[in-house]
Amino acid sequence: MTQPGDSFIWDDGAAPTCAVEGAVAAPVPLEGIRGKLTCKAPLAPYTWFKTGGPADWLFEPADLDDLKAFLERLGGEIPVMALGLGSNLIVRDGGVPGVVVRLGKAFAGVEETGDCELTCGGGASGILVASTARDKGIAGLEFLRGIPGTVGGFVRMNGGAYGREVADVLVDCAVILHDGSFITLSAAELDYGYRHSALPEGAIVVSARFRGHPGDPAAIGAEMERIAAAREASQPLRTKTGGSTFKNPPGHKAWELVDRAGCRGLRLGGAQVSEKHTNFLINTGTATSADIEGLGELVRDKVYAATGISLEWEIQRVGRP
């Protein structure tokens, strides 16, 4: 059953395949392309859950120009998906059709580019952004320390933690569309809502500008330490998990609803609802993506039966079952 916020990647059956003995029939001519293109690339190592099938193609661009050239050659004919730290993601066991783009070091920089303003690569982590802001005396970005992902991911989903969200601090973002065209979108144009943006499907955030306000580095650091300690105390950070599973319904906390429905510790195959924080699912070591997604759906059913509230997935689920 589909629900609002569900995310799918459709497979038209025309995904490229590897030729005999490992030779690759690339989806586009590769002359001049400097990045790394891998056929049938395992994605499980790149996700926090450590589950899921391969990408038909995994592209790791050398830099912005390389990414733009590659996508221009694709011409929008093949599905494209960006992959960050894999923290808020279930890659289904059948793998992901089309091309998965993983941004590396060339997209992970953070620099001060204006008054209390940072320009951050789409592959930069929330921890790096918050730490750089601290070092520059820029307050207001501490909450990014509590988001386990990259700039590209939390710009797309309006990530938030500890009472703040990306919409509060984003100036604009630079985006490459799936056909290689390059645009800049302001925060207003993204039409942000709770864990939602109007970023086009297949678009890749390559950089973003965040603005805070002047602050004392020591005070900023103390707030970041408080956030880190709160996460450690309340979340199962040392397990194979995917972050918050469900969105908080208006007027409710998802974890309280899950707990009320008796789902704390609930298991399906190798997947389990965390005993420590019931809005987290964990891979106990043997889970498949089907186990994890199936457990999430079981929890949704139990919460609806107990409370009449239909939880919406926060974790993105992609690929073929």
Q: How many other C-beta atoms can be found within 10 angstroms of the C-beta atom of residue 109? A: 14
The confidence score (pLDDT) of residue 24 equals 56
Q: Catalytic residue among 165, 300, 314, 317, which?
A: 314
What is the spatial distance between Cα 67 and Cα 38, in angstroms, rounded to a whole number?
Answer: 15
Cβ proximity of 108 and 128 under 8 Å:
yes
Name the stretches of the chain with pLDDT < 50: 1-23
**Selected catalytic residue, list 207, 244, 274, 289:** 244
Residue 84: half-sphere exposure toward Cβ, Cα within 13 Å = 27
CA distance 251 to 256: 11
Distance CA 2, CA 11 (A): 17
Contact 266, 299 (CB under 8 A): yes
244 given a catalytic annotation: yes
Q: Mind listing the pLDDT tens digit for each residue in 117-147?
A: 999 999 999 999 999 999 999 999 999 999 9
Return the closest-CA partner of residue 81 out of 293, 321, 317.
Answer: 317
Q: For this structure, is 189 an active site residue?
A: no
pLDDT tens digits, 141-175: 999 999 989 999 999 999 999 999 999 999 999 99
Angle at 152 between CA 147 and CA 155, to 5 degrees: 70
Report strand pairing: 89-91 vs 164-165: unpaired
Q: Are 157 and 196 in contact (CB under 8 A)?
A: yes
Nearest to 279 by CA among 294, 299, 293: 299
**Whether residue 181 lies in the annotated active site:** no
- Contact between 50 and 240 under an 8 Å Cβ cutoff? The reply is yes
Annotated catalytic residue within 195, 209, 300, 317: 195
